[in-house]
Structures are given as structure tokens and as C-alpha cells.
Amino acid sequence: MSNLSRGTALVTGASSGIGRVYAEKLAQRGYDLLLVARDRSRLDALAAAITGATGRRVSVLAADLSRAEGVEEVAARIASDTEISLLVNNAGMGTEGPVVGADAGKIDVMVQLNIAALTRLSVAAVNAFSGRAVGTLINIASVVALVPEAFPGAYAGTKAYVLAFTQSLHSELKDSPLRVQAVLPGYTQTEFFDRAGIDAAAVPSELVMSPEDLVEAALRGLEAGEAITIPSLPDMAAWQSVVDDRMRMVPGLSLRRPAARYGLEEAVPA
């Protein structure tokens, strides 16, 4: 048990999987907690277990983050509760199968949860944290953001958004005292696939990480100052070379004339 008080960590999607482990590990690191998800009974049981194990104060807020009212309730809490010093935007979902033939309503719900709620809560957090000159934002993306071609459906696009938005925020805040991190899990042993209706049985076990290892590595990455954490990637030089290649394109990304390969003659002024 730690007597350290680091303020309150708000974890969304704390009722299971990765969010649950974040809650446990942040309490062990000295944070009080505010746990958010829809299932209040699971949140209450987790809160009691964490308080029993660590002595930390744990509150729960049941909210549906795919709905505007739920998101606004959590955003208002972030704006008004000056104890909140860390936000883990973890709540997320996937949908099964390709876009053609998909249930458009399910994709809408996913976009509201994975993109709109995460953005609204990030905005609330960085504004609240900026006013107090302290705070940490952790956004849970996914490695599918890096290989969207390999994953049919709209899920990879939502996670590419999380990565790009978090990179942009990190750049905006790099000279501030605020900390911003995107975490890109690979396959992780949680309820995610069952909930999405995806059969994960075919995924070889050597590709699947435990949520305990995933979160511990991500927190160590945060503590080491990483802005982007890809827990299983053996060498972060591979990520850096992707960034460097993108930056090499910058001089050609916006020019007055289309590239020569399109064969457009420049109009001669009359």
C-alpha cells in the first residue's frame, strides 16, 4: 500500500479489461480513482476491491459514453473536480466484419464512443489541466491504426484518429507541463472480441498479451517520457523511421502545381 497522493485518475471503461487493470495499477501507484463505465455494479465491486487492497479513495460514475448526456456529465466532472490529475481515455469498442453489409447503427455508436467521447473528454482534460499547469492524458489507440489495410471495417479508422489526434495534442502541448501519451495495444486478452462478436480463438497465443503486462509496459513507457507507446514493438526505431519518412514528404505535400506525373501544362498567362 502506498501513502503517496497523486490526485485522482479518471479511467473510462474501467469495468473490465485494460481499463480495470489501469485502475488497479494507478491505485497501486498512489492515485485515488474515478471509475467510469456503464455497468455500475461491476464498478462498485472493483472500487471496493481496490480500496480494500490499497486504501485509496475510489468513486464511480456510471455513464454511457456513446451518448451525449453521458459524455457531458463526465466532461463536467473533469472541469469541476480539481483533484483530477490524470485521464485515461480507454473506453472503446469494435464491430465485427467489413463495412459492406455492416450495421450502420453499430458503426455510429462506435464512432461516438471511440472518437467523439474521447475527443470531448480530452478537450475537457487539457483545458482543466492547463489551468492548473499539471496533468496527464493517456489515450488508448491500437496497433491497427498503423495497418488499417489489414483490418476490414471502420474500427481501424477510429483508432487511426485517436493516434493522429493524440500526436497533434502532444505537439501542441510539448512545451507545457502537461503529459500526453497514446498507447497502441496489439491483441490483448479482454472481453473486447466477445463484445464485438469476433472469434478470437484463431489468433495464435504468442500474439496475445495479458492486460496486466500491457498496462504495466504502458505505464513504464509513460514514466520514461514516451509520447507513443507500442508495448510489444521490440525496437522503437521502427516507429521513428515511419515518422521520419512522413516528415520527408512534407516539402511536397502542398504546392501550387500538381505533380508532373499528371501531365497538366501550366496555363500561359494571356
Nearest distance in Å: CB 121, ligand NAP: 11
Nearer to ligand NAP, 104 or 255 (CB): 104
Q: Which parts of this chain interact with ligand NAP (CB under 6 A)? A: 13-19, 37-39, 42, 64-66, 90-93, 113, 140, 142, 185, 187-188, 190-192, 195
Nearest distance in Å: CB 128, ligand NAP: 20
Give the CB-side neighbour count of residue 33, counting CA atoms within 13 A: 33
Nearer to ligand NAP, 129 or 192 (CB): 192
Cβ atoms of 42 and 69 closer than 8 Å: no
Q: In what order do the strands lie in the sheet with 228-229?
A: 58-62, 32-37, 8-12, 84-89, 136-140, 179-183, 228-229
Helix (H, G, I), strand (E, B) or coil at 59: strand
Nearer to ligand NAP, 59 or 130 (CB): 59
Closest CA to 223 of 134, 119, 138, 127: 138
Nearest distance in Å: CB 93, ligand NAP: 5
Nearer to ligand NAP, 16 or 176 (CB): 16
Strands 8-12, 84-89: pairing kind: parallel
Q: How far apart are CA 102 and CA 198, in angstroms?
A: 13
How buried is 214 (Cβ within 10 angstroms: 0-12 exposed, 13-18 middle, 19+ buried)? buried
The strand pairing partners of 157, in sequence order, are none
Nearer to ligand NAP, 67 or 134 (CB): 67
Cβ atoms of 179 and 135 closer than 8 Å: yes
